[in-house]
A and B are shown apart, each in its own frame.
Chain A
Amino acid sequence: MTMVTEQSNSTPAPVRYKRPRKRRINWGLVATYVAVILVTLTMLAPFIWMLSASLKLDRDVFAFPIEWIPDAPRWQNYVEIWTKIPLGLFVYNTAKLTIIVTVLQLLTSSFAAYAFAKLRFPYRNVLFLAYIATIAMPWQVYMVPQFILMRELGLSNTHMALICLQAFTAFGVFLMRQFYMSIPDELCEAARIDGMSEYGIWWRIMLPLSMPALSTLTIFTFVNTWNDFLGPLIYLTKTELKTIQVGIRLFINQYSAEYGLIMAASVVALIPVLIVFLALQRFFVEGIASTGLKG
């Protein structure tokens, strides 16, 4: 593997010398590109196939050799999916759930994380340990009692149940707290001396500084809630409440041979996540690096 330091094209020489050696092909770099392109194709091929199949007639989907760009794209598929199942309703339900959960998660996590990172109070470490301990706990271990609890609270078959379930995660508090730990305490001290309240410090200083962490948490929460399958599968049995993931599953069960339509619905389910991810991804690696998620 070549390393960053081996880059040869980084310094354009101000004066042109005749190079003593002839230019040789950098085989390492060629190998890198070949590898990168192969990997990219593996990662991307299923999505391209999906897109291509979503524009075909059912009988053409499995035609071999694969016709990557359909001769006569069948846009009709994208019209039909909205009428065959209540896809619009599913998208609306999912969007509603995802936005509420993400906003609640960002607010309450960063709020609690501020206290864990910058304030001193009794039982701080015990409480934080309670959070940490549950990160490693698979949700499936307590999903049954949680389901019973929601039922007792009269929340089964409501979106409220899923919001309660996903908005207060230990992961969010942990991620934000790790980021706040890296912000110097002196900054808070200075603001306190200037008479700023703790709430003011959180709102005016910490939040604006924590864009990378907030973006990272937004991506995670948005993606997890949008794509959640088991939660809605257990909690939502009424069709009018279902989310897009469960909805597509329903679609597959009802119209198992309508491949083109299934693919079109899948493409629709992917688009919002793609948009959010592309909008926030420039913060993402930085966010992961600065929140200590790399260990």
Chain B
Amino acid sequence: MTETTLSPAPKVPMSRRARKRRNLIVAYSFIAPNFMGFALFTLGPIFFALVLAFMHWDGSTEMTYAGLDNFWKLFEDRAFQSAFWNTIIYTVFVVPLTLVCSLGLAILLNQKIFGRDFFRTVAFFPYVASLVAVAVVWNMLLNPDFGPVNMVLYSLGVDPKNLPGWAADKDWAMVTIILFSVWKSMGYFMVIYLAGLQGIPAELYEAADIDGANSWQKLTRITLPQLAPTTFFVSVMLTIQSFKVFDQIFMLTQGGPGTSTLVLVYHIYNEAFISWDLGYSSMVALVLFLLVLVITLAQFWLSEEKD
């Protein structure tokens, strides 16, 4: 029914125009149900967010034009600056850590070992498990005074004064969030890496065996280069995901102690739904968007350059 059909044998003769028109209606009827929802609830709000960043609005009284007021406010807002840097720090640690862990896990679980499916399921499970539930468990496990983790450390001979305070200590809170995030999401990226590993032709390894390559050589000369597109994809996804971090911080530290784990999305949430400064929160959201955009483009650019 497309125009490109080479052997058109229409049962009902129809003029070219009428057929084209009908094809068009059919195609749009496929798209319409999803696109209408998507346009109304996603595209619309995105454009509205852009406008709102240059407005003063508390959500109930009249909206007024703000010009660049919200933009200048960014420079006076200490909380925003902490949130900005904390987001960067979080991303800088989470992306490479998760990448390495999930790749290692994938290589480990791509081998023909006994109970492989079980181990894969277990590794993936933290990703699908409810964040509220697992955060609550980790909060108990990492309780500084009587949590099992510190108890184990204590029984291993760590001085009680040096026991980490985890989420309750401003020097450890970010570390806690980072470790938790790696634990939670590495299973998902492992699955993506597994899919990538299965796409590597077995002949490459057979050829390497004939040439007498050892495991390390096979890893660095075949596996890693062959996985480069996957690694690129994973790092882009991870970066975007890291900039969006919110839930685990809400559950584990509420941005504290102080502002030690305050991140951009948390600041957006606070400004919007606690202070009801919708214009300013949209400005922070705009900063978040630009950050994600710049970094994603930079990653694409870097990977082009390498090829």
A contact residues vs B (CB 8 Å cutoff) = 1-7, 28-29, 32-33, 35-36, 39-40, 42-44, 46-47, 49-50, 53, 61-62, 64-66, 107-109, 111-112, 114-116, 119-122, 124, 127, 130-131, 134, 136-149, 164-165, 167-170, 172-173, 189, 192-193, 195, 198-199, 202, 219, 223, 226-227, 229-230, 234, 244-245, 248-249, 252, 259, 262-263, 266-267, 269-270, 273-274, 277-278, 281, 284-285, 288-289, 293-295
Contact = CB atoms under 8 A, between A and B. Distances in A.
Contact of B30 (A42, A119, A138, A249): A119
A39 B105 contact: yes
B33 A111 contact: yes
Contacts of B112: 4, 7
B292 to A, nearest CB: 6
Interface in B28-46: 28, 30-31, 33-38, 40-46
B9 interface: yes
Nearest to B234: A295
Which of A44, A107, A136 is the most central at the interface, judged by chain B CB atoms within 10 Å of its CB? A136
B42 A198 contact: no
A36 B108 contact: yes
A165 B292 contact: no
Given A32-B111, A39-B123, A138-B289, A50 B137 contact: yes
Interface residues of B, number: 112
A196 B193 CA distance: 39
A71 to B, nearest CB: 18
B42 A168 contact: yes
B243 interface: yes
Contacts of A277: 121, 124-125, 128
A138 B45 contact: no
A107 B37 CA distance: 13
Given A4-B110, A140-B288, A230-B247, A134 B141 contact: no
Contact of B130 (A46, A227, A289): A227
Interface stretch (B71-79, B144-152, B165-173): B144-152
B285 interface: yes
6 closest A-B pairs (Cβ-Cβ)?
A: A295-B233, A168-B37, A266-B133, A115-B30, A289-B195, A145-B48
B230 interface: yes
A86 to B, nearest CB: 16
Interface string B112-154: 1100000111111111111111101110110100111001000
B107 A229 contact: no
Nearest to A196: B1
Given A168-B34, A168-B38, A294 B11 contact: no
Contacts of B246: 140, 230
Contacts of B27: 115, 119-121, 124
Contacts of B9: 193
A81 B174 CA distance: 33
B100 to A, nearest CB: 13
A112 B26 CA distance: 11
Given A134-B43, A141-B285, A47 B198 contact: no
